[in-house]
Amino acid sequence: MSSIDKVQEEYPEQFCSLLEAAYGEGFLSEGGGEAIDALFNGFGLENKRILDIGAGLGGPAAYLAGRHGAIVTGLEINRPMVDESNRRIPEELRDRLSFVYYDDISRLPFAGASFDLAFCKGVLLHLDTAEKNILFGEIFRVLVPGGSFIISDWLSPEHGRWGERMETIARADNLSIVANTEDDYREVIRKAGFTLVSLGDDNARYARYNDHVADTIDDPATRKRLAPLFSPEYIDRQIWEYRLLAEAIREREMLVRKIVCHRPK
């Protein structure tokens, strides 16, 4: 089974309902709008054509279009998510926001030089190095010369191996997560033709985000919202896992990195 097939299986509708309860409507990764603002800090976004790779249920893309005036295309391998994201688009954003299904990372469904910026948040850890090489080459193709690719991802200090806490989380939720290092990323970026601009440490921010997620799920109102879908034991386990994840981040067993790279002109 390919990594893409595994990812499609790992995000069923019911699990996404829990993630939205924890992260906010349309968001399937931590931090909400604050994390998106931090990711794009220093970039002018108004009327920029942005590609969101792994758009999920569209929260980040809608935030960029509504809050920052960007023109955003969300790309997603899960067709029901694409359909739901398009259904949710507010009328006032119909000319700035769209979601597209794809199932082949070797050929993204866009002409060359279609986007000013591309980003990927909390998605690439599901792809192995060979798949990243293919995808990064395609992202390079669809960006304009001078365009930027911004990444937020989970990395490991050790190639091919996660620490005990991360292994525990992956086993508990049957997640396929690839232990790539900073050096792995540098090489993938180089092979695609990008210039690495910066590789920043986001551990403190994401430890705080995950503590907040655990507190949000543990809130009585959230528990009530989730009760028709999940048992109390399952909810308790999710709270425990998010606290364990925050601990793994603080102990630097998992490295959250903001990576900015640039397609040369």
User: What would the mean pLDDT of 222-244 be, rounded to a whole number?
Assistant: 95
Q: Cα separations (Å) of 97 from 51, 64, 72, 128, 200?
A: 10, 9, 5, 29, 29
Q: What is the pLDDT of residues 1-54, one digit of tens each?
A: 555 555 656 667 788 788 888 898 888 889 999 999 999 999 999 999 999 999
Share above pLDDT 90 across residues of the chain, in percent, rounded to a whole number: 87
**0.75 exceeded by the pTM?**
yes
Alpha-carbon distance 10 to 5, whole Å? 9
pLDDT digits (tens, 9 = 90+) for 141-156: 999 999 999 999 999 9
pLDDT of residue 240: 96
pLDDT at 14: 81
Rounded CA separation 120/126 (Å): 12
| Tokens encoding 181 | 């290092």
Site of tokens 């939205």: 20
| Mean per-residue pLDDT, 156-167 | 96
Could you give the CA distance from residue 168 to residue 154 in angstroms, rounded to a whole number?
A: 15
Per-residue pLDDT at 17: 85
The candidate with the shortest Cα–Cα distance to 97, out of 113, 86, 82, is 86
Q: What is the pLDDT of residue 13?
A: 74
Architecture of the domain made up of 3-158+176-203+254-262: 3-Layer(aba) Sandwich (3.40)
Mean pLDDT of the chain: 94
Q: E-strand spans in the chain? A: 49-53, 71-76, 97-101, 115-121, 143-155, 195-201, 255-262
DSSP state of 29: S
